[in-house]
Amino acid sequence: YRALALDTALSTLAAVLVYVVVKVSVDGIRHWRARVSVLIVGSGPVGLTAALVAVRSGKVLKLTVLDERYRSSLLCRPQQIALDPRSVRFLLGLGVDFDNMEGCWHNEHFFTRIGVFQEYLLSILEQRKHKVDVKVQLGTKFSEEYVRRLPSTDWPQVIVVADGSCGDTCSVLGLSSDYTVESCQAYGANATIERLDQRQVPTPEIRAHSLFFDLSAYGVEALREHKSPSAKPGFHLKIYGTFRNRYMALVCPASDTKMVRFLRHTANASIMKNIFHQSFNVYKTDIEPRLSEVTLHQLQCSRRLFEVQLSHRTVSAAYITGDNVAVVVEGEAARVLSLDTCGVNLGLRGLESLGTFIYGMATAVDQSDVLEALSAKMSHSKQVSQDFKRTGLS
């Protein structure tokens, strides 16, 4: 009996080991062969970076990028983007070679125009066509008609929505349009200057901190108030963009000082314009022309200080069970900041978990695995919003 029991135990152990080895091998082969088709709606900086993430994941069989804009209008946008060190490291990991992109470096930030950045990412996707079936369809809108014309066999398993804050892809897919609006505990204002006689050349940002303004001419004696040791820090100014398209952002911590109250509720629109006018002339680069009374009409700005708020989509990921499609929302379609500072970096934060999500979708065995991947993606999206609300403006 002892020998029989030993033989039985050894046989059982051997059978279990064989089963484990076979299962691990089969799962490994399945994971290695697993591929999904991905549709990305929107070919802005975030959408094209998402396409690059998908290709680099190694789990995409077919990649389609849609945008209702044509190539000419897509690449001629004048806005400049500033990629911070974290975004630079993320893009380097995707194979982006900044040495071959028009732009400039300053304090580990890379500055370039949106059109240049998009053109470069499109060229990378063109080079990856031999590895993945990549199709870029510009001038094609994702609409109900597009959905009807799409054969059931061509439906993607993952849809990435990156069509901006004004896009309607989510409504076509039936996703909730509800946003959660949270205060960033700050007030701000924006200004823009367009000078057609200047060059469209990327320039480093200019930042000035702890600024106070003399508004005594408007009846506000605020300087005495700020000398108090308990007073909060003053205003922070950022000048950015190309020489032709200059942008300014003015921000201050939320407070109830006389000056902040006055600038939040004043009905005199010329006050804020005068603040931006004088600030630009003081902090501009030496090679830029000053704004004079004659050229002041080129300056457009906020009428008064407004509360800086972050709006993020309540449902940033969903699973359409009937079509077996997972949808994730990225960029300004997912998170919008009321202070216009070209927040490409905020959009790229959400893409940091996209590769893992695509891998999870490709290797999912059942709906439980799909929901686990979606849950992780939603948690990351929520964390991005919380982190930005806490430290983003600083």
Instruction: Give the model confidence (pLDDT) of 248-299 as tens digits.
Output: 999 999 988 888 999 999 888 899 999 999 999 999 998 888 888 777 788 9
pLDDT digits over 119-169, tens only? 999 999 988 888 888 999 999 999 999 988 888 778 899 999 999 888 899
Region for residue 241 given its phi and psi (left: phi exceeds 0; alpha: psi -120 to 50; beta: otherwise): left
Q: pTM for the whole thing?
A: 0.87
**Taking residues 211-222, what's their average pLDDT?**
80
With b for 16 or more beta-carbon neighbours within 10 A and e for fewer, the 23-47 pattern comes to: eeeeeeeeeeeebbbbbbbbbbbbb
- Spell out the residues 6+ positions from residue 97 whose beta carbon is closer than 8 angstroms to its own: none
Given 284, 308, 332, the domain boundary residue is 308
Helix (H, G, I), strand (E, B) or coil at 190: strand
- Give, as one character, the DSSP assignment of residue 258: H
pLDDT at 214: 85
Tell me: do 124 and 191 sit in the same domain: no
- Tell me phi and psi for residue 320, to 5 degrees: -90, 100
Tell me: do 227 and 242 sit in the same domain: yes
- Give, as one character, the DSSP assignment of residue 165: T
Q: Give me the domain span that covers residue 18.
A: 1-33
Is the pLDDT reported for residue 230 higher than 60?
no
Tell me: do 3 and 45 sit in the same domain: no
**Taking residues 311-331, what's their average pLDDT?**
91
Tell me: do 231 and 293 sit in the same domain: yes
How many folded domains does the chain comprise? 3
Q: What is the DSSP annotation of 48-95?
A: HHHHHHHHHTT-EEEEEEEESS-HHHHH----EEEE-HHHHHHHHHTT
Give the up-direction half-sphere exposure of residue 141: CA atoms within 13 A in the CB hemisphere. 7
Tell me: do 303 and 345 sit in the same domain: no
pLDDT at 231: 53
Tell me: do 283 and 376 sit in the same domain: no
- CATH code of the domain in which 162 resides: 3.50.50.60
Q: How far apart are CA 319 and CA 158, in angstroms?
A: 9
Q: How far apart are CA 198 and CA 61, in angstroms?
A: 46
Tell me: do 57 and 118 sit in the same domain: yes
pLDDT at 31: 55
Give the up-direction half-sphere exposure of residue 304: CA atoms within 13 A in the CB hemisphere. 12
Tell me: do 136 and 216 sit in the same domain: no
Tell me: do 40 and 174 sit in the same domain: yes
